Chain A
Amino acid sequence: MRGQWLWYLLLVIPFIGTLWVPFYNAVDPKLGGVPYFYWYQFLWIGISVCLTTITYFATKGREP
């Protein structure tokens, strides 16, 4: 029970991935003609959803 809050640390990851601009401020590599800047940020929607889902199930025990 007490260690459950550690799962919430997963939710910090999307903040780092999307707010640190030097990670993705580039045109190349392109994906299907789409510059990196754009497809990288689209990709983070999926990653963020996965992390939220994992945290949801891992901490569900605390919730009725």
Chain B
Amino acid sequence: MSAQQERIVANAVVPLDFTYNYRVGQYVERYIKGLGQKKIMGVKCPGDSSVVVPPRKYCGRCNAIMDEWVEVGPEGTVENFTVGHVNLNKGAVEKADTEYVVALIKLDGASSLLPGKVQGVSPTDVEVGMRVKAVFKDPAEDSLEDLSHFEPAG
């Protein structure tokens, strides 16, 4: 049979459902605990004094371990954002019911930008430079979702 004749006549669709169970490590664990207390915690690099959120062990620029904890936010500034018109559902593109904002936010006191949703404002009214504040889940659920989203501040 030539390659042409061997065209697939049947597809096998095989959904693979596996559960992975990740250790987040002590840095993210402490970060999550902070969110439960409505605090956003970052770490400071001893090399260049940058404050990184979410926290992690190594600063790659300085080859240094970061172990000085600093509370940042809860307010910050939108440094960059995009408006999503679709959702990705396991890689499949689906039109979103409503447009939504994904932003990179510079929390007060932080050097790095934190990705977050901006809600409570029309996407057309979101601007770079606008002030936002973190909204926390209450009661806390001991997960990263305890930092639920950001809203316009003030």
Question: Do A and B make up one complex?
Answer: no
Q: Which residues of B contact A (CB under 8 A)?
A: none
